[in-house]
Amino acid sequence: MREAYHVQLDQLADQLADMCVQVAEAMERATTALLGADLQLAEQVISSDNEIDDARSACEEQAYALLALQAPVATDLRTVLAAIHAAESLERMGDLALHVAKAARRRHPQHVLPEQVSGYFAEMGKVTVRMAQKAEQVIRSKDVDSARALEDDDDEVDDLHRHLFTVLMDKEWPHGVATAVDVTLLGRFYERFADHAVSVARRVVFMVTGKMPGSDNDDVDV
């Protein structure tokens, strides 16, 4: 019975890791759609969001079944609780990629981003996708040092986000209020995506060590 229980825990971790792959692909495609005004790619992200939602539901159902049937304690209990929180963060990451794709679709055939800021979003897209990919490896390896290293990537996104605002606040900004609003919202989506990736990594640290790292980005909203 105990062996079968740990197989179920491993399956739960695999489901979460697979969700990381899904949200990384979603944000990569959404960023490409945003930068290239690619309607077809944006539609792919939008139509596949239900798959991420379903994956979260499957993770939660398995986690609650383990709580109800196995009454886990100590590390096993932390694993199940961490999985529930991580699944929520990963679904929100999928939602944020969805928001980016919807922005690209809404403005099509025009580009959402003026060339002046497109480089910031290309870089934020690259870093956030990398963070989701690293989160997958952290879940599979349960490597605490790798989990904590995601904080550095988050700092990189925060720096890009701050620099983006210096461009928006320039009195010579030539693109009008509507474009400034679009850029502001999109920047926020990438920043929140990174925060949720950090939250997933912190849940792994909690699972392994029993201690939750600093809570600045732990419970973040879409």
E-assigned strands of the chain? none
- Per residue in 122-145, pLDDT tens? 999 999 999 999 999 999 999 999
Question: Locate tokens 């995601």: which residue?
Answer: 150
Output the pLDDT for position 213. 83
CB count within 10 Å of CB 188 equals 14
- Which residues 6+ apart lie within 8 Å of 101 measured at CB? 26, 29, 30, 33, 34, 41, 42, 43, 45, 46
- Per residue in 52-73, pLDDT tens? 999 999 999 999 999 888 877 8
Output the pLDDT for position 216. 47
Whether 91 contacts 59, CB under 8 Å: no
Output the pLDDT for position 72. 79
Written in H, E and C, the secondary structure of the chain is CHHHHHHHHHHHHHHHHHHHHHHHHHHHHHHHHHHHCCHHHHHHHHHHHHHHHHHHHHHHHHHHHHHHHHCCCHHHHHHHHHHHHHHHHHHHHHHHHHHHHHHHHHHCCCCCCCHHHHHHHHHHHHHHHHHHHHHHHHHHHCCHHHHHHHHHHHHHHHHHHHHHHHHHCCCCCCCHHHHHHHHHHHHHHHHHHHHHHHHHHHHHHHHHHCCCCCCCCCCCCC
Question: Locate tokens 């005004």: which residue?
Answer: 37
CA triplet 25, 204, 4: central angle to 5 degrees?
95
Measure the CA–CA gap between 13 and 50, rounded to whole angstroms: 20
Question: What tokens were used for 216?
Answer: 């600045």
Question: Locate tokens 């690259």: which residue?
Answer: 126
Output the pLDDT for position 217. 45
Please give the average pLDDT of every successive group of 10 residues along the chain, which has 222 residues.
79 96 98 98 97 97 90 86 96 98 96 96 98 98 96 97 93 93 97 98 94 62 50
pTM above 0.85, yes or no: yes
Q: For the purposes of burial, counting CB atoms within 10 Å of the CB of 69, is it exposed (0-12), middle (13-18) or buried (19 or more)?
A: exposed
Output the pLDDT for position 212. 85
Whether 22 contacts 135, CB under 8 Å: no
Output the pLDDT for position 2. 64
Q: For the purposes of burial, counting CB atoms within 10 Å of the CB of 61, is it exposed (0-12), middle (13-18) or buried (19 or more)?
A: exposed
Domain at 2-209, CATH homologous superfamily = Phosphate transport system protein phou homolog 2; domain 2 (1.20.58.220)
Output the pLDDT for position 200. 98
